[in-house]
Structure 1
Amino acid sequence: MKIDGSQIVSGLKKELAQKVVFLRRRNITPHLAVILIDNDPSSLAYIRQKEKMASELGVKFSNYQIAGSLNSKKELINLIHKLNKDKTVHGIIIQRPVPIDISRRELNKLVIPKKDIDGFHPKSPFTPPVAKALLVILEWVFKSKRAIYKKTFLSWLKKQKILIIGRGETGGKPIAKTFKKMGIPYSVAHSQTKNLNELCLKADIIISCVGKPNIVRHNMVANKTTVIGVGLHLEKGKLQPDYNQKKIGEKAEYYTPVPKGVGPVNVACLFENLLKAV
């Protein structure tokens, strides 16, 4: 069964819109600033989604683009310092990946914690939106099975065999970190994992965060499995998940498509963090 991310977040979007109306009546306009270095196709797609939802919710959206050059790091740091001090800006996002020479540790600490709605700063009070999105999607799956599993969502999730493929900073890592914090057991596979087929076949839930084609093949998936595609790659001018959607759709019990899969849920969870930052 295809998981429709747009449908899942329709209720959440209505709640967020109501909160924005309440804030604007108090002369507070939530303001999101997004910084993009260069023009990665996946990043541009996510920024378009964010800008579209900002418009729908009545949130101010500022998009800053920095060209990849020798001065990019200095320009990025100066811009973030300025936005950190700007009281009208409530949330700041540095769109990953960042193709400049800067350490991950330095990059993660550039945005002050109270504006780091992506959850990268070690002291950020926010759960990473991608991890929140996974929980929202999995809760939808649970609710569709509740007649079978008469448990709470969290107790059900803790009993599932969860496999996270990839450990990148924008996908696998924040998801794994959030699950660990919540006491949700999981396994991680990566490029050096030799028994990926076996791990996939045993998994109840596969979360693929790589961003390359055919990481998960239909013969690696059982008919009980939920497959969630976080990683994206460009194929014939279109963004695709880590698997062939048609073949996985014929085999898996549930799967997220592209578009209208994880993306809209991720963006809605980001704006939920933004409104908490106001």
Structure 2
Amino acid sequence: MTTATLIDGKRVAQDVQQQTAARVEKLKQAVGVTACLATVLVGEDPASAKYVAAKRRLCEKLGLASVFVKLDETTTTEQLVDKINELGRDANVHGILLQHPVPKQIDERAAFEAIPAQKDVDGVTFHSFGTMFYGLPGYESCTPGGIIRLLDAYDVDIRGKHAVVIGRSAILGKPMAGLLLNRDATVTVCHSRTVDLPELVKQADIVVAAVGKPAFVQGDWIKDGAVVIDAGFNPGPKGNIGDVDFEPASERAGLITPVPGGVGPMTLAVLVEQTSIAAARQAGVEI
């Protein structure tokens, strides 16, 4: 029986989207600029194609322009970097997203680093990692940025709390730890080689599960009243499921995100929000 309060990511995402749509319209009225996101897809991965299509639909819904670049599965790193450089020089493009993963022959890091810092609205470059960790103006990795917005929307007091992040990927676990640190949390980052993981999770006031394993985090790992953020999205027999064993965890947690409908909607919302902000900055206006 669920006793935790569900964190409604769809509702919070809608609020962010409304603010973004208003910013996009103000920018058009102020200087005649339409915020534009360029998405780059390499290869034929169905899931990636689905995600890119969703991003383009959201742009259209909120009044942003979008550019879609589709490259062949055999594309080389040099060819991809050339295309990203071309988008970087295009004054009508304000944000660039390279859909990952890319085919194995491509140096993904080299491709990410070709994205100009001012157009890195997905928060994937070394520059963005630096600004995230130092709390400087820049663009956050979208999923961690979305999680922070969820915590704020539900008035979660992060300061001084013990947060356990399970996962250390460059686009989720590591930047998540940085953003939580910047909000004065005490952060423990766990991973596949962590010893006594359940005992560490039991100490957490805030748990962020980003390990990529279905129902990995067990309910009896959760401290009573903890905030549980499930950033997992794994295929299951009855649809997608998260990294947290939801039902038993929800009996102990105070707040918990469902899958789907929790973290996922926030990733897209932050992407378009940051694109609208990037467009305003590049136009030299405060909106």
Matches of 1:250 and 1:63, distance apart in 2: 44
Partner of 2:61: 56
Mapping for residues 4-153 of structure 1, pairs under 5 Å: 4-25=8-29, 26-40=31-45, 43-69=48-74, 71-103=75-107, 105-124=109-128, 125-142=138-155
- For structure 1, the 5+ residue unaligned runs are 144-155
Cα 1:108–1:185, aligned 2, differ >3 Å: closer, same or farther? farther
Matches of 2:51 and 2:104, distance apart in 1: 20
Given the alignment of the two structures, is residue 266 of structure 1 paired with residue 243 of structure 2, yes or no? no
Give the CA deviation at 1:40: 4.6
The percent of aligned pairs where both chains have the same amino acid is: 29
Q: 8 Å contact 2:102–2:108 — kept in the other structure?
A: no
Cα 1:48–1:250, aligned 2, differ >3 Å: closer, same or farther? farther
Q: 8 Å contact 1:91–1:116 — kept in the other structure?
A: yes
Q: 8 Å contact 1:73–1:100 — kept in the other structure?
A: no
Matches of 1:42 and 1:221, distance apart in 2: 31
Given the alignment of the two structures, is residue 160 of structure 1 paired with residue 165 of structure 2, yes or no? no
SS of the equivalent of 2:208 reads strand
Give the TM-score of the pair, scaled to structure 1: 0.86
SS of the equivalent of 2:193 reads coil
Matches of 1:206 and 1:139, distance apart in 2: 15
Q: 8 Å contact 2:212–2:234 — kept in the other structure?
A: yes
Cα 1:130–1:19, aligned 2, differ >3 Å: closer, same or farther? same
Matches of 2:45 and 2:200, distance apart in 1: 31
Matches of 1:235 and 1:36, distance apart in 2: 26
- Cα shift readout 1:197-235 (whole Å, capped 9, x = no counterpart): 111111111101111112211121123111111132222
Q: 8 Å contact 2:77–2:107 — kept in the other structure?
A: no
Partner of 2:218: 217
- For structure 2, the 5+ residue unaligned runs are 129-137, 280-287
- Cα shift readout 1:147-174 (whole Å, capped 9, x = no counterpart): xxxxxxxxx3122110000001121011
The one-letter code of the counterpart of 2:225 is K
CA RMSD of aligned residues (A): 2.2
Give the CA deviation at 1:39: 4.6
